[in-house]
Amino acid sequence: MVLARVRCLANHEGRKRAVVLRIEEYRRLEGLEDALDLDKAQRTATEFRDYQQVRADAL
């Protein structure tokens, strides 16, 4: 596993207020978050709807 190099930005009191990531690291984190969301949705789903029906309802 490759860890991201993270830079923190601090305020005048030295408290961390923000992080700066390379875009590649950000995209990797987005992908991990999407995978976790999908896993949770599959574990907690009580019913499934057909994609075409969901799409028709949305339009």
56 pLDDT above the threshold of 90: yes
Residue positions counted in the chain: 59
Q: d(Cα 48, Cα 54) in Å, to the nearest integer?
A: 10
The mean-pLDDT minimum among 1-5, 11-15, 50-54 falls in 1-5
Residue 7: other Cβ atoms inside 10 A: 9
The pLDDT of residue 50: 87
5 pLDDT above the threshold of 80: no
The single-letter DSSP state of residue 13 is: T
List, for residues 19-51, the tens digit of each pLDDT value. Answer: 998 898 899 999 999 999 999 998 998 888 888
Q: Which sequence spans correspond to the domains of the chain? A: 1-45
Find how far residue 4's CA is from the centre of its chain.
Answer: 15
